[in-house]
Amino acid sequence: MASYIKGTGSYIPEEKISNRELSKRFGIDEEWIFQRTGIIERRRSSSKGVVDMAFPAVLSAIERAKLEKKDVSAIIFATVTPEFLTPSSACVLQSKLRIKRAIAFDISAACSGFIYGLFLSSMVVEKIGGAVLVVGAEYLTGFVNYNDRNTSILFGDGAGAVIVGKDPPGHKILDFYITAEGDGWKSLLIPAGGARLPASERTVKLNLHTFKMKGKEVFRNAISGMEEAITKLIEKNGIKKDDISMLIPHQANERITIALAERLGMEWKRVYSNILSLGNTSSASIPIALDEIERKKILKKGDLVCMASFGAGYTFGACLMEW
């Protein structure tokens, strides 16, 4: 049974972190940052919480779906920067929205969180009906060590949301390829704050509550992981790469996106990129992109769209959709 994206929404914080600001901090050239990442600026939230960012994105998605808050039957919240270890950010968001008696839970699949959430939403909406809210929201700037230039030049804050229903109208979700390779878990992580290494004076002093990344390993695996997901999804559905009107990859790093497009043999005009002004917003990057594409009316009815993601873990996957 197919499901449909019936509405989109996003929230972009106003405060900007420019390459100039970071270049002064690290004593490096602005152009070096741009050439390494494809980013000129990234955003920082003043709210210091993912729910406050998600809230306006959700309201926009509900409005565009021409629904009301009471129609929401489930909330799936993808994030690696939750409000609390417990309860879930989904429950906090549910309370803020004043929605009663809806399923609400978080998923932690890093930058693949939104694709994982969309996959789950298709099953949830088939079982219980109603409208399933899928959110990707991140407060990454709160977990960056600004003495580490490898991670601080990448990450920004933001939120995106979609409403999924089981009936048209909407953008038809056709199929998924979802998987993970757990051997990669050490390549990108926040070491402290969980059961393995609880918070202490030592963990704070050593900045163990911030991102640690083996950049070369993540870079290499991000390209191959998304290429695998896209290729297998295309083969599974008996279509060709040329049938894809738009590829929407996770906005990890412009060099990753360029390398992915080259491996797939896809023209750049068919690849969506907004990392220039937003940076890497993890699980929020794809739903933000979807909302931008919707608002700009870039695609037409019937166009085939492929979304692809790769994140810490490693998690990766792709979704095929008809606009």
Residue corresponding to tokens 């939750």: 82
Q: How many CB atoms lie within 10 A of CB 243?
A: 13
Cα dihedral 66, 69, 73, 75, rounded to 10, equals 100
Residue 274 among the catalytic residues:
no
Residue 306 among the catalytic residues:
no
Report the half-sphere exposure of 15 (CA within 13 A, side-chain side).
Answer: 12
Residue 280 among the catalytic residues:
yes
In angstroms, the CA 316 to CA 288 distance is: 18
In angstroms, the CA 307 to CA 316 distance is: 11
User: DSSP letters of 272-318?
Assistant: ---HHHH-B-GGGHHHHHHHHHHHHT-S-TT-EEEEEEEETTTEEEE
Catalytic residue among 19, 171, 280, 319: 280
In angstroms, the CA 275 to CA 301 distance is: 26
Segment (H or E) for 128: helix 113-128
Burial of 3 (0-12, 13-18, 19+ CB in 10 A): buried
Give the length of the chain.
Answer: 323
Catalytic residue among 111, 221, 253, 319: 111
Catalytic residue among 250, 253, 306, 319: 250
Exposed e or buried b per residue across 113-125, where buried means at least 16 C-beta atoms within 10 angstroms of its C-beta: bbbbbbbbbbebb
Catalytic residues: 111, 250, 280
